[in-house]
Copies of this chain bind each other. A is one copy, B any other.
Amino acid sequence: MTLAASLLSGDRLSLARVLTQVENDTPVGRQILDELFPHAGKAHRIGITGAPGTGKSSLVNQLARHYRHTVDGSNPYRVAIVAVDPTSPFTGGAILGDRVRMRDLAGDPGVFIRSMASRGSLGGLAATTAAVVQVFDAAGFDVILIETVGAGQAEVDIARLAHTTLVVETPGLGDDIQAIKAGILEIADVLVINKADQPGAEAAERALRNMLEMNHPANGTGFWLPPVLGTVATEGRGVQELAAVIARHQEFLRQTGGWHVRERFLLQTEMETILHAELVSRWRAAFPEDAYRKILSDLVERRISPYQAVERLLS
């Protein structure tokens, strides 16, 4: 049996092996991705993003428990967790350390947890995350929770992978943080105020709701206006309500055709990324090395501008 077939039959060890091949972008990994591709496209991909310290990991933990136990006792969802840390710290990454909190889930055969840190380019990380998510999808996981830390372009790229994106905030964020909030609001389908038992939680919820009602492009159009929910993840409070909102968003996407639009956009983007890289590498292989070096050196000496250099390269 091939590795892909063995994964499709539900073998956990094969899944782990495939993930390693795919993460390292090996030829075997690419071939397996091709084999798995027709089997993917069914899972509900849920993104969870927010600054460090907002309690994202606890919330992901609780959502996973909920999907394992509450949805349907006789036939619970299979849940994959992909924890992505694009901040590429010297020391390994806080988000990876957080995984120890998930020990209670780790023994459950219906849960698979994979942590990924940035190695090299952030663009590469988004591509690798997409591939890993596809593997879980083909392997038959019903829900894939994609957790990312921070508020930058990497999160936006990774959020594009999700059908439903939760942005997690905490109460008491000063006005200072307004700019970051505004940036991340654009990717949110659901806003979660975690640690809602802390002072200022209701005010934060109200402020976010006002901001959305004033500024969100969807407001008044009948489209999805991101709901604002309070949770206390450490105690599991609000998690059931959150899961209900997530299910409602999934239903909304299916009814409006948004689900298909997101799938289409994602696949087209993935194809174009590969196409562009391939076009560049073919052109580069065909272009004489010494001529390239000469043009580059003229550029660096400021004899020609970047646009003029490209004109010469393509003439």
Contact = CB atoms under 8 A, between A and B. Distances in A.
B87 A271 contact: no
Nearest to A271: B306
**Chain A to chain B: the 8 pairs with minimum beta-carbon distance, closest first:** A152-B152, A53-B176, A89-B182, A87-B183, A153-B153, A37-B305, A90-B215, A94-B179
A308 B154 CA distance: 26
Contacts of A270: 306
Interface residues of A, number: 72
Interface string A257-285: 00000011001101100111011101100
A33 B296 CA distance: 18
20 contacts: A33-B307, A34-B305, A37-B302, A38-B303, A38-B305, A40-B302, A52-B180, A53-B174, A85-B179, A86-B153, A87-B180, A88-B182, A93-B179, A122-B153, A152-B152, A152-B154, A264-B300, A275-B313, A279-B280, A279-B283
Q: In this complex, which of A94, A152, A181, A186 has the most chain B Cβ atoms within 10 angstroms of its Cβ?
A: A152
Interface of A: 30, 33-34, 37-38, 40-41, 51-53, 85-91, 93-95, 122, 149-156, 174, 176-186, 211, 215-216, 263-264, 267-268, 270-271, 274-276, 278-280, 282-283, 296, 299-300, 302-310, 313-314
A72 B122 CA distance: 43
Contacts of A85: 179
Given A271-B299, A302-B40, A180 B150 contact: yes
Given A51-B180, A308-B34, A90 B186 contact: yes
A267 B44 CA distance: 43
A32 to B, nearest CB: 11
Contacts of A185: 89-90
Given A90-B186, A179-B149, A182-B90, A302 B154 contact: no
Contact of A271 (B174, B182, B264, B310): B310
Contacts of A178: 52, 89, 94
A120 to B, nearest CB: 12
